[in-house]
Amino acid sequence: MTGRRSAEEIGSTPTGPRALPPLGPQRSVPAPEEVDTVLGSGLRVVAVRRPDVPMVELRLRVPFADTSGRDDSAHAAVAEVLATTILSGTSSRSRVGIDDDLAGVGGEIGFSVDPERLSVSGHALADGLDTLLDVLADLVLAATHPDDELARERERLVERIELASAQPSVIARRALQERRYGAHPVTREMPRPEEVTAVTADAVRSLQASALLPGGSVLVLVGDLDPADAVARVEKALAGWSGGRAAPLPALPELRARDLLLVDRPGAVQSQLRLSAPAVGRTDPRYPALQLANLALGGYFSSRLVENLREDKGYTYHASSSLELDPHGAVLAVETDVASEVTGPALLEARYELGRLAVVPPTEDEVESARRYLVGSLLISMTTQAGYASTVAALAAHGLSSSWVREHPARLEAVTTDEVAAAATEFFAPTRFTGVVVADAARTGPGLHALGGVEIP
Amino acid sequence: MTSSVTAPARGLHRRVLDNGLRVLLVPDAAAPVVGIAVHVDVGFRSEPEGRTGFAHLFEHLMFQGSESLEKLAHFRHVQSSGGVFNGSTHQDYTNYFEVLPSAALERALFLEADRLRAPRLTHENLRNQVDVVKEEIRLNVLNRPYGGFPWILLPPVLYDTYPNAHNGYGDFTDLEQASLDDAAAFFDAYYAPGNAVLTVVGDLDPDETAALVDKHFGDIPARAVPTRPSFAEPPPDGERRESVVDANAPLPALALGHRLPDPHADLPGYLAHAVLASLLTDGEAARLTQRLVYGDELVTDVSASCGLMGAPLDARDPDTFTVTAVYPGTVDPQRIIGAVDDELATLAADGPDPDELRRVTARWASSLHREHDRLMSRMLALGSAELVQGRAELADELPGLIAAVEPSAVAAAAGSLRPDQRAVLTVTPGGAA
């Protein structure tokens, strides 16, 4: 090629910079047809017609908390084994039979459990809804947890936990939960291998019988369906499911401000910074303003944390601030992973941005950008059957309905810059935070010690 | 069930601008959102020797501003219009995309056009993004178990030539040596409008959108389009084995790599391999899952994939069929490999059961319906199918094509995965972390 261009020549044209086009008109969409009802068993069923593709999405959320009140409770391990072995067979279907029946209607079903609930996610071709519901009912009512399958799954689960426990993000999450909540059941997100090994088949069967209950649970169906008809099919398929109310998560201990705890991970080439502070949940009048302030700090790419830590300093690939919601409220979580050698500097910058948000509040432009992003990304997240189903299930699990999300854009539009500033000051002051730093202590300890506010064991 | 297997027919409007830019306009009024994607015909296989990771690093630079947009402005304009964005670098292409409320259609076209016309490549941004990419590599490869397994670790065992074998994320030394001149030369060579496909999907009017595309992309001057080199190389002439140590891994792992048929020359043969991968490891009833996880109890997890990066038809020839497994330290990996060979031999001899094949087909149809329900996924599938395979329609036709795969073709695919033409990579826990 003759006369190759320089970088400077590439970056300019004879016309010069051009003006950004304005936004056009935005079409709004009517709410989809929906039935939201509670069956006699206490199971809440939400069915939504979204016929975009010939599929149906299923979400079931069963409150599944440990209510034993014991520090040595086996609940988390038993629940984890239950979620793993429930697909091993029922009184009428083998493990392969379950999968074959689902595959025949393009279906899949998965179980997972956390300290708050047992979650089922599934989907199938729309004309396979009855099969999907039939398999779900069979699993909920007649899973057998066969001894031999359970013994094997227990071993696999131990191996998977060992795999996961080697992930820095998992190490950091566990350390953060314990720093925030001590021994509260909410910290038991992943049982220890020795706890899993001790789980018996009887304990699993007994937990399924006593805790997998319809009362207070919610089943969501979204897809190419008739909502009233879908509810009728659910009622028929799950007619045998009864027995009382499932156990909701007890209120969490109040987060209190503390030094960050340095957790040693010898040889690590990257450090995990995790900071957390109390916040408020969806039903609090300050929530929309808090959301906007959170976005301005680190809730999306165009935020102070990302622009500072990544785009200015090059310390990290990602930095974020988010709201973790539970049935009783919410907490703020600020996180970033940075190279070991800049661990101290990155913590300094993170604290600086927290302090700056509290005292130099988001500008009108920052608030408007955050607002447009929240309204738009909410719209985008609801455009798929799967996204719609997950959103409605998350809301319903916390006692809200789809109207909350439809009305939320109006709440966001109503927030003033002053209200965002007030939320920023109230919630983001660095002195309100606790947290952990997972890092190679030998390399990062001296810098963190010099910076202060870090407990170095 | 056959009615569910064919994707709904939707209009697809194809045109080429005078500067060579190929344009796909795909109206889809399901929701009031739009997506726009630019797929550029250059991936990490095309980056120069001594500049490993450059295609991906350059992708980062394309977000750093352009003639009309200061650093950070691209992100801010997309997000403050309510949209989401990203980009990614693959073997044979690099894509840039955003999904936004439909009100932002023209704005998004403007943003993409501005950086395709005149990106702002500066020394400061280059150095900053080298640091960011190094953190990305630490996060995804160096500081985690099984980082780069198998997509970085397997190719150097299976392939001999630099384009196919090298690490597409890049060595730190190469990244650090990347210069502004490299970036300018790369842009001029590969980012010509004639070397890219623009895909616009969503709540749009094709004629109005065509006019907006002309308005914003039409005056990007045409430049020479590079001749695409062939990356062909002969298949391995024997079984190749290598072992690596992973300091972060708690359990050993292995990867088998085989060459796939060229999808241009033999699409049915290629798709038979996609079906084969599903038969082997998709779902509890899949053959390798049953045999290795539940039957012989040799592995913790096993996964087969048609395509090195996880999705079929994402690359041109040559591409890789992989089988990966994580297993307890007490298991001899040779037993796992032997069991895989057994299952392949059985499938090659007897073919799949018709019911088994029908279940795989139904799962494919359903997963493609779900993928296409998400505008971003459908847009990216259309754009990459147009660029890499020459036909966007392939993305929508895939469920039908998969449903048409015959048992005999799957048997032939199983038989083609020969032990004497494969790579075997084992990962040994280093125990340091």
Sign of CA dihedral B227, B231, B232, B234: positive
Question: 3-class DSSP state for residue B427?
Answer: strand
Among residues B217, B252, B268, the one where a domain terminates is B217
Q: Report yes or no: B297 at the A interface, CB cutoff 8 Å.
A: yes
Q: Report yes or no: B225 at the A interface, CB cutoff 8 Å.
A: no
Is B145 close to A310, i.e. CB distance below 8 A?
Answer: no
Taking CA atoms, what residue in B is nearest to A162? B250
Mark which residues 26-85 of A lie under 8 Å from B by CB.
26-29, 52-55
Q: How far is A249 from chain B (nearest CA, A)?
A: 32
CA end-to-end distance (rounded Å), chain A: 62
Q: Report yes or no: B105 at the A interface, CB cutoff 8 Å.
A: yes
Is A300 close to B79, i.e. CB distance below 8 A?
Answer: yes
Asked if the structure places residue B388 within a domain, the reply is: yes
User: Is residue B211 located within the same domain as residue B151?
Assistant: yes
Q: How far is A367 from chain B (nearest CA, A)?
A: 10
User: Is residue B20 located within the same domain as residue B98?
Assistant: yes
Asked if the structure places residue B224 within a domain, the reply is: no
Q: How far apart are CA B187 and CA B58, in angstroms?
A: 8
A·B CB contacts under 8 A: 273
Residue whose structure tokens are 């014991």: A70
User: Is residue B22 located within the same domain as residue B91?
Assistant: yes
Q: Report yes or no: A20 at the B interface, CB cutoff 8 Å.
A: yes
Residues of B in contact with A295 (CB under 8 A): none
Taking CA atoms, what residue in B is nearest to A365? B80
Residue whose structure tokens are 């990155």: A346
B130, B137, B138, B140: which to substitute to probe chain A, counting the most A Cβ within 10 Å?
B138
Matching fold, domains A34-237 and A260-455:
yes
Is A314 close to B128, i.e. CB distance below 8 A?
Answer: yes
Rounded to two decimals, the ipTM of the complex is 0.90
Q: How far apart are CA B6 and CA B361, in angstroms?
A: 11
User: Which pLDDT belongs to residue A456?
Assistant: 95
Q: Report yes or no: A295 at the B interface, CB cutoff 8 Å.
A: no
Asked if the structure places residue B291 within a domain, the reply is: yes
The residues, ordered by sequence, that sit 6+ positions from A369 with a Cβ below 8 Å of its Cβ are A302, B76, B79, B80
User: Which pLDDT belongs to residue B284?
Assistant: 86
Asked if the structure places residue B359 within a domain, the reply is: yes
Q: Report yes or no: A164 at the B interface, CB cutoff 8 Å.
A: no
Query: In whole angstroms, how far apart are CA A196 and each of A192, A301, B18?
Result: 7, 39, 65
Top-level class of domain A260-455: alpha beta
User: Is residue B150 located within the same domain as residue B291?
Assistant: no
Mark which residues 18-57 of B lie under 8 Å from A by CB.
30-33
Residue B143 exposed, middle or buried by CB count within 10 Å (0-12, 13-18, 19+): buried
Q: How far apart are CA A81 and CA A196, in angstroms?
A: 7
User: Is residue B349 located within the same domain as residue B412?
Assistant: yes
Cis peptide before B318 (omega within 30 of 0): yes
**Are the C-beta atoms of residues B157 and B242 closer than 8 Å to each other?**
yes
Q: Report yes or no: A160 at the B interface, CB cutoff 8 Å.
A: yes
Q: How far apart are CA B97 and CA B88, in angstroms?
A: 9
- Does the pTM surpass 0.90? The reply is yes
Asked if the structure places residue B319 within a domain, the reply is: yes
User: Which pLDDT belongs to residue B259?
Assistant: 97
Taking CA atoms, what residue in B is nearest to A265? B433
Could you tell me the two tokens for A168?
């820095």
Is B250 close to A106, i.e. CB distance below 8 A?
Answer: no
Q: Report yes or no: A377 at the B interface, CB cutoff 8 Å.
A: yes
User: Is residue B156 located within the same domain as residue B249?
Assistant: no
Region of A399 on the Ramachandran plot (φ > 0 left; ψ -120 to 50 alpha; else beta): left
User: How many C-alpha atoms does B115 have within 13 Å on its Cβ side?
Assistant: 28
Residues in chain A: 457
Whichever domain contains B66, its CATH number is: 3.30.830.10
Mark which residues 308-327 of A lie under 8 Å from B by CB.
310-318
User: Which pLDDT belongs to residue B3?
Assistant: 33
User: Is residue B88 located within the same domain as residue B16?
Assistant: yes
Report which of A293, A279, A373, A366 is spatially closest to residue A323, judged by C-alpha positions.
Answer: A279
Question: 3-class DSSP state for residue A9?
Answer: helix
Alpha helices by DSSP H, B250-324: 267-281, 287-288
Q: How far is A325 from chain B (nearest CA, A)?
A: 23
Residues of A in contact with B284 (CB under 8 A): 87, 95-96, 98-99
Q: Report yes or no: B301 at the A interface, CB cutoff 8 Å.
A: yes
Q: How far is A265 from chain B (nearest CA, A)?
A: 7
**Are the C-beta atoms of residues A350 and A337 closer than 8 Å to each other?**
no
Parallel, antiparallel, or unpaired: how do β-strands A55-63 and A117-125 relate? antiparallel
The residues, ordered by sequence, that sit 6+ positions from B134 with a Cβ below 8 Å of its Cβ are A339, B172, B175
Q: Report yes or no: B349 at the A interface, CB cutoff 8 Å.
A: no
Among residues B183, B217, B251, the one where a domain terminates is B217
Q: Report yes or no: B404 at the A interface, CB cutoff 8 Å.
A: no
Q: Report yes or no: B143 at the A interface, CB cutoff 8 Å.
A: yes
Select from 1.10.1060.10, 3.30.830.10, 3.40.140.10, 3.40.309.10 the CATH code of A34-237.
3.30.830.10
Q: Report yes or no: A7 at the B interface, CB cutoff 8 Å.
A: yes
Q: How far apart are CA B332 and CA B354, in angstroms?
A: 34
Q: How far is A267 from chain B (nearest CA, A)?
A: 6
Is B203 close to A126, i.e. CB distance below 8 A?
Answer: no
Q: Report yes or no: A376 at the B interface, CB cutoff 8 Å.
A: yes
Is B283 close to A99, i.e. CB distance below 8 A?
Answer: yes
Q: Report yes or no: B115 at the A interface, CB cutoff 8 Å.
A: no
CA end-to-end distance (rounded Å), chain B: 51
Q: Report yes or no: B211 at the A interface, CB cutoff 8 Å.
A: no
Residue whose structure tokens are 């609090």: A284
Question: 3-class DSSP state for residue B105?
Answer: helix
**Are the C-beta atoms of residues A276 and A176 closer than 8 Å to each other?**
yes
Is A376 close to B374, i.e. CB distance below 8 A?
Answer: no
Query: In whole angstroms, how far apart are CA B235 and each of A111, A253, A320, A350, B410?
Result: 42, 61, 45, 51, 20
Q: Report yes or no: A11 at the B interface, CB cutoff 8 Å.
A: yes
Q: Report yes or no: A404 at the B interface, CB cutoff 8 Å.
A: no
Mean pLDDT by 10 residues, chain B (433 residues): 39 96 95 97 96 96 96 94 96 98 97 98 95 92 91 97 96 95 96 98 96 98 95 95 94 97 96 97 93 93 94 95 96 97 98 94 92 95 96 92 95 97 96 52
Taking CA atoms, what residue in A is nearest to B104? A23
Q: Report yes or no: B378 at the A interface, CB cutoff 8 Å.
A: no
- In order along its 457 residues, chain A shows pLDDT tens digits of 446 899 999 999 999 999 999 999 998 888 999 999 999 999 999 999 999 899 999 999 999 999 898 888 999 999 999 999 999 999 999 999 999 999 999 999 999 999 999 999 999 999 999 999 999 999 999 999 999 999 999 998 998 898 899 899 999 999 999 999 998 999 999 999 999 999 999 999 999 999 999 999 999 999 999 999 999 999 999 999 999 999 999 999 999 999 999 999 999 999 999 999 999 999 999 999 999 999 999 999 999 999 999 999 999 999 999 999 999 999 999 999 999 999 999 999 999 999 999 999 999 999 999 999 999 999 999 999 999 999 999 999 999 999 999 999 999 999 999 999 999 999 999 999 999 999 999 999 999 999 999 999 9
Q: What beta strand segments (E) does A226-296 contain?
A: 260-264, 270-279
Could you tell me the two tokens for B104?
């932002």
User: Is residue B25 located within the same domain as residue B152?
Assistant: yes
User: Which pLDDT belongs to residue B431?
Assistant: 67
Parallel, antiparallel, or unpaired: how do β-strands A260-264 and A454-455 relate? parallel
Cis peptide before A30 (omega within 30 of 0): no
Taking CA atoms, what residue in A is nearest to B137? A317
Taking CA atoms, what residue in B is nearest to A149? B294
Is B189 close to A1, i.e. CB distance below 8 A?
Answer: yes
**So where are chain A's domains?**
34-237, 260-455
B366, B371, B374, B377: which to substitute to probe chain A, counting the most A Cβ within 10 Å?
B366
Q: Which domain holds residue B291?
A: 240-429
Asked if the structure places residue B190 within a domain, the reply is: yes
The residues, ordered by sequence, that sit 6+ positions from A15 with a Cβ below 8 Å of its Cβ are B219
For B326, which DSSP code?
Answer: E
Residues of A in contact with B75 (CB under 8 A): 301-302
Q: Any bridge partners for residue A439, and if so which? A: A264
Tell me how many domains chain B contains: 2
User: Which pLDDT belongs to residue A71?
Assistant: 85
Asked if the structure places residue B97 within a domain, the reply is: yes
B10, B78, B79: which to substitute to probe chain A, counting the most A Cβ within 10 Å?
B79
